[in-house]
Structure 1
Amino acid sequence: MPDGTDDSALSATEELALARLALDEGDLHHAAGHLAGALARAPTLPEVHETLARLAATDGGGLDLFPINHHTFVGAVVARAHLLATAGRPAEGLDLLAVATVYAPGAQWAGVPWVTAPELAERLPPEHIARVLMQVCAALPDPVPRVGRAALIPYLTLARNAATVHPEHGLLLGAASALARRLGEVELAVRWASRGVRAQPSKMGEVWLGYAYRSSGRTRDGLAALGRAVELDPDDLAIYADIAGTLAEIGRLDEALEWAERALARDPSFDCAVHTAHRVRHLRDGNLAHLVALADFVRDHPDDSHEHGDLAQCCRSRPWLGQLTPAGGALVDALRQAVADDDNGLGGTVSLAAPAPPSAVVTALANAPGLRMVVDAVPEPDPREPRRASARRLWHYAGQIPTPALPAPSPTAVERVGQIAHPAWAHPPAAYDAAVGLAGLDVADLLGLLVHPPAAPANAVGRLLAAHDPSVWVRGVQVWACLGLLHHRTDEPWEGSTRRRVLLDLIWGVEDWVTEAALFALVTAAWVDPEVRPDVARVVGERLADAAAVARTRPVPIIASLAHLTLATPELDPGTAALAGELLDTYSPRLPRPRNPLRRLWQRLTRPRNP
């Protein structure tokens, strides 16, 4: 179903006016097109339905004006559904409304009297209503966010009416329970599913009851119902995975793993059990290898039966696995305070024990121009110099103030990174996939983004960061620019590739936020390509060892973040992992208190986004 028509810019009122004009002139085809457009924009507007009724009164009832094919506009589908109901064929009409709801669940397609009237439930077979409810449920999250529930209430009303007419129909009651659960009516879901199981015991009935109990907080009862479902059908391995997931949620990890492994013993490639088993193993021992193995399974099995969230759940809010780390240091703390106070001058003086990372300096001066930095000393080794002489220079220094050593990126690069950059991602492979939008940029553009990061966009995320922590946006741009480098000339073998060489240059440059971004890109490469893992693990180990050695003589502001990156690296050797743990124990900043504004900011930024 395409999103619009040829007149997609018209409002519902304009479409309706054109439809009436065409209808008055006897031009039924143009009237139908404009009515479809009006319905797509205002599916419950009474005047639209009145005009549709006029069209239905013409010869043939108007059905021929809204044919169904492979590219039918959604408004035409809905119009045909209403005309079918008017023509005495409500079952077919309801089927089409369900199709529209699956396509766009947030629209009020079913919010019309003929759907919510008790008579519809009396006229349709209960099996048909159950199938429609299951079709709608399959397209919905569980639970549906509150903001999206109003459009689905007509289906719940239909379910209530049908449950009244058919109080002993197990399939109908189970499907009604599934819908009620998704719409937050969990106690109603329990009642309906319980009635269904009593009336007609079945595997699916017990599954619906188990889900309803689980949503209502009665986990023990839910597990019992799912256990009965297994007894009724021992070959349905999805139920094993559901039991394992439920047990994991309440911390019974050993039992959860037993259920997952029972399913794997029957089918080692069963996707639900594989995902659950890897997640539970990681929850038990914290070993990153389980998550990497899960990522490998996802890559090797792109045609899984449905999408799973186990990997994203394990990576969510974890440093570099699901989000970048907040920058630390006195200068960034002063920047946050300055923008939070918004004292017009955005000024003050901050004393630094050593030169701050150049990206931090540039970000602070751009967002708080009144800030004055006082550097106590320049310790050795000089933090303004690359860690390896061969590394690419991104900055020139005039005393303590860095300036970009590279030209600014093109407007195209600025536009693309602005559409993609975000401080959180589902997991490293998902970040890699999302960065494919930067694949067409050349290296000069991507490097230019590192030292000339564009301003945050004028959207909710951009405004939030500008008001609390502008450094997060800059760090995000740098991360995504480096991920873009991973997509540069992917036909080149890794060892001698341009992407590897450029990233290594960045990693061994001046200690900066760019160092972290480039190292994350390397770590991401190891997640998506098993063949590069030994090389990446070696580079990560060398970079961490260098930072640890420097930290014995002077501060290394990025050392805690480098340690987090190290622990996110596949196939890391035990010695390097131990060093990363020691460095985190020594240098990791204390977590902010729950009421700290920075903590609240990160909770909002890293909140899972709806697909």
Structure 2
Amino acid sequence: MPEGTDDPRLSAEGELALARLALDEGDLEHAAGHLAGAIAYAPTMPEVHEVLAQLAARTGGGVDLFPLDQHPFIGTVVARAHLLAAAGRPGDGLELLAAATGHAPLADWAGVPWVSAPELPGQLDPDQIARILMQVCAGIPDPVPEPAREPLWPYLRLARHAVAAHPRHGLLLGASSALARRVGALTLAMEWAGQGARELPSKLSEVWLGYAYRSAGRTEDALAALRRAVTHDPDDLSVYADIAGTLADHGELDEALEWIDRALTRDPGFDCAVHTGHRLRYRRDGSLDHLVALADFQRDHPDDSHEHSDLAECCHGQPWLGRVPAATEAVVAAIRQVLADGDQVTGGELRLGGLEPPSAMRSLLGEVPGLAVTVAAVPEPDLREPRRPVTHHLWRYDGTTAQPALSPPSASAVDRIRHLAHPAWPHPPAAYDAAVGLATVELDDLLGLLVHPPAPPATDLGRTLAEHDPTLWTRCVQVWVCLGLLHHRTDEPWPDSTRRRVLLDLVWGVEDWATEAALFALVTAAWMDPSVRAEVARLTAERLADAIVVGRRRPVSIQRSLAHLVLATPQAESSAAEVARHLLAQPAGGRQTPRPRRFGQFWHRMWSRLHR
């Protein structure tokens, strides 16, 4: 598509002027090139089509001036389509327009008179029209958002005229229904699909009818049609998954899973059934095991029949599974309040009852320059000390003031993290894959980013975070840096690797947001590599237990986040998961309910581990 224009019509007029000049000079190839540019900018502009007709008249059709090479320009494709139609080959022209729509569906490629002419379908084989409509459907969403439907109306008019010309062609009726459904013409979709099923009883006809009913909210009719589709072709397991998904959307999880089990009995590796089955089982009982099994299946079957979104759907919006949890410290609340008030605050004094994580404290000082912070007390265990002996230290303290213990990162490292960091991801394996962009960043730079987070980028997201919650940006940077650490020196075997040692140092170092980020990276490693799951499950249990020990003597602001991390851990220890759920069920800072039955068992085992 053309780029860099604010006024497509003005750009089209410029290309058109050059095309006319070249045509006057007899330079037909340059004229064709400029016409292709003009039609890409303004595909329905009458003047463009007038000059295209002049070119055709000068060259005996002009089709050869718009060749389809390996990567044709879209304007070339569309111009060729119109010339083919003018040369008596409208079916071939429609196929090219459908291809253009699949490539750029927001442009009105088909909004020209010949496509909507009532007599056109009578000149075409209805099988070809059906294929063209299915080609259009394959390149657009289901349903198409309302603002994006207008460029598709010419195809719907084509479908109306085609059905009128070939009223008993079952395949055409079904394909027309599929298009009508996508653009919101549901009454037409049901009418055409029903007529198609009567004219051509088949699996495909019943599937189209079922989809039309489902889009219109007629669930029972949809299920009846899809069940009839199964009787036509019991071996098409994708219909089983469709039935299961429809049942599940209406709360019939048990029956939905019966259909999934029927499909898996026929083919245990059928990807649609596997994905749908794990998603529905997760909806039924909430066990993370289903999502981990689905991730394992995706890793072991990279060539599935089509892309699935079940894992992303289940992880969407969930702490650590799909997003960075927001910080909860008192100083963070103060930052948000300052930003909400809209005043530029400098200086002043703030008294805190106790010390908070260094990343939170540094964020406060960054947002309120010159602020004098007084900490009333530093209760034991001292937050300024690592929870276990470590080699890599992020912070040093001057009294109660935290200072980075590392040099600032390089400009290239800053640039990479600013392009990569984001508060959400589809699921942990997707986050791992995305972080590969940090694989070549030096270790010192990665660690430096943890304590010297750059300003948010000048994007919509960056500006929003800067205006409302810059602490979330800092947490994003730390999370993605730690994910990047997973890609550091991957040639080293995991047990003795630098990446493992550094992440463990961060987990057991000074209590900080970097603790959460590093633990999430290790949890992500467990999602990716079954061989490390037992180790990571022990680690998350121990880190939560340590936070509970400390929390008996002073506040631990990251404790709830650690609980979420336990629940995001593959093969998490059952007692640790029970304690995590109990902790999260408590209102933050509120009255505690009785501990779960297995709390004592968990506590005894964790206490033994922590004091070896």
TM-score (norm 2): 0.91
TM-fit CA distance, 1:445: 1.9
Match of 1:96 in 2: 96
Match of 1:68 in 2: 68
In 1, distance between residues paired with 2:119 and 2:448?
66
Greater mean alpha carbon deviation, residues 131-140 or residues 181-190 = 181-190
Q: Secondary structure at the match of 1:382?
A: coil
Note closer, same or farther for the CA distance 1:343–1:269 as it changes in structure 2 (3 Å cut): same
Q: Secondary structure at the match of 1:397?
A: strand
Greater mean alpha carbon deviation, residues 221-230 or residues 10-19 = 10-19
In 2, distance between residues paired with 1:437 and 1:583?
36
Q: Secondary structure at the match of 1:345?
A: coil
Match of 2:256 in 1: 256
Match of 1:55 in 2: 55
Q: Is the 1:429–1:527 contact (alpha carbons within 8 Å) kept by the matching residues of 2?
A: yes
- Equivalences for residues 90-129 of structure 1 within 5 A: 90-129=90-129
Note closer, same or farther for the CA distance 1:348–1:206 as it changes in structure 2 (3 Å cut): farther
Match of 2:512 in 1: 512
Q: Is the 1:482–1:518 contact (alpha carbons within 8 Å) kept by the matching residues of 2?
A: yes
- Equivalences for residues 230-379 of structure 1 within 5 A: 230-345=230-345, 351-369=351-369, 373-379=373-379
Deviations 1:98-150 (A, max 9, x none): 11222222222222222222222232222211111111211222222233322
TM-fit CA distance, 1:94: 0.7
Q: Secondary structure at the match of 2:397?
A: strand
Residue identity opposite 2:20 in structure 1: R
Residue identity opposite 1:23 in structure 2: L
TM-fit CA distance, 1:161: 2.2
Q: Is the 1:391–1:506 contact (alpha carbons within 8 Å) kept by the matching residues of 2?
A: no
TM-fit CA distance, 1:391: 4.3
Q: Is the 1:330–1:350 contact (alpha carbons within 8 Å) kept by the matching residues of 2?
A: no
Deviations 1:385-444 (A, max 9, x none): 222231422123233332222222222222222222211111111111111222221212
Residue identity opposite 2:233 in structure 1: D
- Equivalences for residues 378-389 of structure 1 within 5 A: 378-389=378-389
Match of 2:220 in 1: 220
TM-fit CA distance, 1:188: 2.7
Q: Secondary structure at the match of 2:60?
A: helix
Deviations 1:56-111 (A, max 9, x none): 11223211111112222222111111111111111001111111222222222222
Residue identity opposite 1:427 in structure 2: H
Q: Secondary structure at the match of 1:57?
A: helix
Q: Is the 2:2–2:40 contact (alpha carbons within 8 Å) kept by the matching residues of 1?
A: no
Larger Rg: 2
Q: Secondary structure at the match of 1:143?
A: coil
- Equivalences for residues 168-183 of structure 1 within 5 A: 168-183=168-183
Note closer, same or farther for the CA distance 1:117–1:328 as it changes in structure 2 (3 Å cut): same
Deviations 1:361-391 (A, max 9, x none): 2222223447664433111111122222314
Match of 1:498 in 2: 498
Q: Is the 1:485–1:499 contact (alpha carbons within 8 Å) kept by the matching residues of 2?
A: yes
Q: Secondary structure at the match of 1:194?
A: helix
Residue identity opposite 1:332 in structure 2: V
In 2, distance between residues paired with 1:177 and 1:470?
49
In 2, distance between residues paired with 1:388 and 1:137?
59
TM-score (norm 1): 0.91
Note closer, same or farther for the CA distance 1:101–1:370 as it changes in structure 2 (3 Å cut): farther
Q: Is the 1:334–1:350 contact (alpha carbons within 8 Å) kept by the matching residues of 2?
A: no
Q: Secondary structure at the match of 1:458?
A: coil
In 2, distance between residues paired with 1:275 and 1:14?
51
In 2, distance between residues paired with 1:361 and 1:14?
58
Instruction: In structure 2, list runs of 5 or more residues that go unmatched.
Output: 591-612
Match of 1:39 in 2: 39
Deviations 1:137-176 (A, max 9, x none): 1122222223332222222222222223223322112112
TM-fit CA distance, 1:346: 7.1
Note closer, same or farther for the CA distance 1:371–1:194 as it changes in structure 2 (3 Å cut): farther
In 2, distance between residues paired with 1:512 and 1:290?
31
Match of 2:560 in 1: 560
Residue identity opposite 2:241 in structure 1: A
Note closer, same or farther for the CA distance 1:366–1:152 as it changes in structure 2 (3 Å cut): farther
TM-fit CA distance, 1:240: 0.4
Q: Secondary structure at the match of 1:94?
A: helix
Note closer, same or farther for the CA distance 1:347–1:124 as it changes in structure 2 (3 Å cut): farther
Q: Secondary structure at the match of 2:61?
A: helix
Deviations 1:534-559 (A, max 9, x none): 22222222211211111111111011
Note closer, same or farther for the CA distance 1:48–1:385 as it changes in structure 2 (3 Å cut): farther
Residue identity opposite 2:297 in structure 1: F
Residue identity opposite 2:434 in structure 1: A
CA-atom RMSD, angstroms?
2.2
Note closer, same or farther for the CA distance 1:126–1:443 as it changes in structure 2 (3 Å cut): same
Q: Secondary structure at the match of 1:58?
A: helix
Identity of counterpart residues, as a percentage? 66
Note closer, same or farther for the CA distance 1:448–1:156 as it changes in structure 2 (3 Å cut): farther
Note closer, same or farther for the CA distance 1:489–1:45 as it changes in structure 2 (3 Å cut): farther
TM-fit CA distance, 1:328: 0.7
In 2, distance between residues paired with 1:227 and 1:346?
68
Q: Secondary structure at the match of 1:403?
A: strand
Residue identity opposite 2:246 in structure 1: T
In 1, distance between residues paired with 2:122 and 2:354?
79
Q: Is the 1:409–1:452 contact (alpha carbons within 8 Å) kept by the matching residues of 2?
A: yes
Deviations 1:224-272 (A, max 9, x none): 1111111121111110010011111112111111000000101111110
Note closer, same or farther for the CA distance 1:100–1:355 as it changes in structure 2 (3 Å cut): same
Q: Is the 2:142–2:182 contact (alpha carbons within 8 Å) kept by the matching residues of 1?
A: yes
Match of 1:596 in 2: none
Match of 2:465 in 1: 465
Q: Secondary structure at the match of 1:223?
A: helix
Match of 2:12 in 1: 12
In 2, distance between residues paired with 1:522 and 1:55?
64
